[in-house]
Structure 1
């Protein structure tokens, strides 16, 4: 085993052994600071200037911005430090201990996506003693799996800035230049309960919700006919009616009902525009059914993302990987980094098919190709003078 490979394994073990679950449930949610504290000295040892940035309004959550070199251009290698929750009883090994078997490394976050940090640092270690003409920034964010508060905080602060950014989500080392957005919305209806023998005694929230469902199904059909992008396997925006809760007994007029739905817009579609369209369709139902109707967002949403097919980063990664840049359905922090003015793509080791489930793993065969590829990107964006 080479010393470089041993260093990667050492970092992987430390990162996987440091729990950093991000959850909407407070009893499961953990600080990501211990992961930041793992990364900090490794990067400083290579000469990076490291800043740890608290995420405003989210106690215990931090971003790390590590910079090597100066200049107006450069490269960001970005990833998130948090993981989803897990069910240890369903794993064949301890999810918080790196386990090697079948030429794979198992552990929570191996591919999604703590493993990327170990490989990015290994690539930087190959180059750090050379003169940097443009900066290399390694960015580690908080709470990607829930609120994306870390990425949002970077946008609010206007940093980091570089020419290009690669987010190391698991893509099998194939470049991704587009993904759909994600919205989670809710409709709350307050009617008036009463005895079911006389409908005039109340205002049935379930009857009103039937009208809501009909409007949303019609809206879904209209979106699918108006918007299409054949780069996506599911080429239309989707609207999923996820869950509904209402009423308490068959002989009572339903006084309250709530619906939650998921909407996945294509690039070019506006989250606020979609929310306004939903309002316009649903608001008249309140008067029609004699109820109070409220629509609201369960979280701020993730905008759809697209980088042009002819951008420099797209063409560079296609050349280096031999793969055409593709589109995926899952969301990432890419639209937020793009808002900072960076040419942004998604590329990393592992597969999304292994993420968010028991026995998550990173195939050993992905490790060396990923380090080699990241080294080539660092050479291209950081060791050559900025273009004027």
Structure 2
């Protein structure tokens, strides 16, 4: 199978993060088996999803991991002109959910396997396909840890194929967040001073986020931080829910307070700062009604990617693509999780991130072809 036919097959599996990806993983396992390549399946705790990795080539260290995720974001509520789970080519573009983010790269990586076998590579190629990237990169750490502990020869580099227009992205922000549940106390709003409105208390925390954003924006960034857009860490609430009626103080309010954190800053410090403000607000609530409280639950914690000094993965991608520019992004990937576990990591994949998650998502044919040229050159590099 060529890369295009593999892409069509991968897109046909509706692996929205709320659903299982087991059919896709099973298909990849059989595809690799047909090439004589064994793969390792890492199931989720509930058995409804799985991850897969495989080793191609000689049993030596120093190879390259091609890393991608198998899940996609929902299509519900989006106005698509075509079936989201069928690849349609039109006007030099390949439309379909995941063609850009990031089944296009997954297909290219899998298509490189028979090429690597035919060429007789001297350094190994490894494939790593994760789950649940779109809901906080929660699957990859377990998969990478499994790879490291498996006894499989350790690769030295990881190329994470998120859409970067085939540029070498050497840094990205991390992300972390707390699901926040404010338990207030209901009274008639005419007597609101005797109750605690969970919605009003939530507003205090969102105001805190705005104040933190303003303070960060006012700081002079370092030379590395200045490469990011924006060049500061930020706090954000995207969805909020609470209240019963207009004339009742809200008993409950829930939201996720999320942070996009520069690689130079500590996730722990951001979460601790938020926790400190939460406890201040909680104390104010309990001074009115003692049984009120604020409950926090960490929902994601994704490491940023730090630019590496003399990074092997960066050097590889620059050598193969000819890209000499400096590129960092504000979206998160699994690259920082590979880096945290000792791999030299870089982000490089076909497509434009602006197309990710959109209705009528697409990767251009030109970008897909550029991705295949990268795979051909990578295999040749591993064979020499």
Shared fold, TM over 0.5: yes
Structure 1 residue ranges without an equivalent (≥5): 1-5, 24-28
Give yes or no for contact 2:216–2:233 (8 Å, CA) kept in 1: yes
1:250, CA displacement in angstroms? Answer: 4.1
1:343, CA displacement in angstroms? Answer: 0.6
1:122 paired residue number: 111
Q: Structure 1 pair 154/296, CA: closer, same or farther in 2 (3 Å)?
A: same
Deviation track 1:11-57 (CA, whole Å, cap 9, x = no partner) reads: 2222222221112xxxxx2x2121122222332343423222212x2
Give yes or no for contact 2:137–2:300 (8 Å, CA) kept in 1: no
Secondary structure of the residue aligned to 1:60 is: coil
Aligned length: 371
1:276, CA displacement in angstroms? Answer: 1.0
**CA separation in 2, counterparts of 1:107 and 1:42?**
22
1:350, CA displacement in angstroms? Answer: 1.3
> Bigger CA drift: 60-69 or 143-152?
143-152
> Bigger CA drift: 143-152 or 99-108?
143-152
- Asked if residue 137 in structure 1 is aligned to residue 126 in structure 2, the reply is yes
Give yes or no for contact 1:82–1:143 (8 Å, CA) kept in 2: yes
- Asked if residue 173 in structure 1 is aligned to residue 162 in structure 2, the reply is no
**CA separation in 1, counterparts of 2:13 and 2:184?**
48
Give yes or no for contact 1:192–1:204 (8 Å, CA) kept in 2: yes
Secondary structure of the residue aligned to 1:124 is: helix
1:327 paired residue number: 328
1:150, CA displacement in angstroms? Answer: 2.5
**CA separation in 1, counterparts of 2:25 and 2:188?**
58
TM-score (norm 1): 0.86
1:21 paired residue number: 16
2:186 paired residue number: 193
**CA separation in 2, counterparts of 1:175 and 1:166?**
9
2:49 paired residue number: 61
Secondary structure of the residue aligned to 1:300 is: strand
2:6 paired residue number: 11
Deviation track 1:90-135 (CA, whole Å, cap 9, x = no partner) reads: 2222112221221222222112111212222333333313343322
**CA separation in 1, counterparts of 2:86 and 2:77?**
11
TM-score (norm 2): 0.87
**CA separation in 2, counterparts of 1:254 and 1:89?**
32
1:313 paired residue number: 313
1:164, CA displacement in angstroms? Answer: 0.4
Q: Structure 1 pair 130/244, CA: closer, same or farther in 2 (3 Å)?
A: closer
Q: Structure 1 pair 196/18, CA: closer, same or farther in 2 (3 Å)?
A: closer
Deviation track 1:324-372 (CA, whole Å, cap 9, x = no partner) reads: 2411111111122222211111111111122212211221112332222
**CA separation in 2, counterparts of 1:44 and 1:307?**
37
Q: Structure 1 pair 193/165, CA: closer, same or farther in 2 (3 Å)?
A: same
1:188, CA displacement in angstroms? Answer: 2.9
1:226, CA displacement in angstroms? Answer: 5.0
Q: Structure 1 pair 325/318, CA: closer, same or farther in 2 (3 Å)?
A: farther
Q: Structure 1 pair 256/334, CA: closer, same or farther in 2 (3 Å)?
A: same
1:266, CA displacement in angstroms? Answer: 0.5
Structure 2 residue ranges without an equivalent (≥5): none
**CA separation in 2, counterparts of 1:92 and 1:249?**
39
1:240, CA displacement in angstroms? Answer: 1.8
